[in-house]
Amino acid sequence: MSTLYARQLDVGYGTTRIVEGLSFAPPPGRVTALIGPNGCGKSTLLKAFARILKPTRGELVLDGQSYHTLSARELARHIAFLPQVLPVPEGVSVRQLVAYGRSPHNSLWGRLSGSDQSHVAQAMQRLELDTLAERALADLSGGQRQRAWLAMVLAQNAPVVLLDEPTTYLDISHQVELMDLMRELAAEGKTVITVLHDINQACRYADHLAVMRGGKLVADGTPQVVMSAGLMHEVFDVQVQIMREPVAGTPMCLVEKSTRSHS
C-alpha cells in the first residue's frame, strides 16, 4: 500500500501560482475526492502528484522517498494518472491503447510478457471493452474512449491511481460503474485520488474529502466530518441543507440558492 505526502507545496503555470503552501497526506488504501470550485487548484494538485507539474516550493514524497530521487519509470510503476483532457491518437486500437499501460513494466524491447497480456485482458474485461478491442480509438464515442483510457490505467496496475474528472462523457450507468470500480480498487489496497464536481457523488463514494478553495486546503476528512452548510457557503457561495442520503446514509447537499454577488 503506497503512501503520498505533499509538504508546503507551491505549484502553478509560469509565474502564476495556483496551489500555495499546501500540505496534504491522502489516506492510503482509500478513495479520496478533491472537491472545490473551478480554478481552485484541484487538477493542478493532481498533476503535481503525477509529476506533470513541478512544484516551485515544497516537497512531494512517495513511500518515504522524495520525488526528485525517482526516475520517470519508477514513478510510473507506482502512480497511474488519467488526465482530464485525453488525446485521440490516430490508428491506435483499443487493445493497443490498453497495452500502453504496461509500458513501465515492459522489457527494454517493449514486448508484452504473459503477465502483461493477462493484465491487459483483465482491464478490458473489467471495463466491458472486449467487443471493442480491435476498434480504432478514433471511431469510438466519447464515453467508450473514456472507458478505454480507464482500462489503460487499470492495466498499469499501479498502487496509486489519480483520476482527473473521470466521469466526463460517461452516462449515469457507467458513472456508477466507475464509482464502484474506485471502491473495488481501494478494497484491493490501492490509493485512489480523484477530482469530482458532483458533491453528493463524492460524499457517497469517497472515504475521504479534500476541499480546496483559492489554491489552499480548507477542509480534510471523512464526508461525515467535513460536510456542513457553513463549509459549502464558504467554499461554493451557496446556501444548502445537509441531509442524510436515504440509500447510503452519507451526507447529501440540497442547494437552496447561490449567495454569490452578481453586481
Give the side-chain half-sphere CA count within 13 A for 81: 18
Domains of the chain: total: 1
Q: What is the pLDDT of residues 63-114, one digit of tens each?
A: 999 998 999 989 999 999 999 888 888 889 999 999 999 888 876 556 677 7
Structural domain range at position 42: 4-258
- pLDDT at residue 249 above 60? yes
pTM for this structure?
A: 0.92
Kind of pairing between the strands at 57-62 and 160-164: unpaired
With b for 16 or more beta-carbon neighbours within 10 A and e for fewer, the 116-142 pattern comes to: beebbeebbebbebeebeeebbeebee
**What's the whole-number mean pLDDT along residues 134-155?**
92
- Close Cβ partners of 143 (under 8 Å, ≥ 6 residues apart): 169, 170, 171, 174
Strands (E), the chain: 4-13, 16-24, 31-35, 57-62, 65-66, 79-82, 160-164, 191-195, 208-213, 216-221, 238-244, 251-258
> Pick from 131, 43, 57, 56: which is nearest to 95 by CA?
131
Which CATH number belongs to the domain containing residue 232 in this structure? 3.40.50.300
One-letter amino acid for residue 255 of the chain: V
What pLDDT is attached to residue 89? 82
**Residue 263, domain member (yes or no):** no
**Residue 218, domain member (yes or no):** yes
Residue 182 cell numbers, joined: 474506485
**Residue 159, domain member (yes or no):** yes
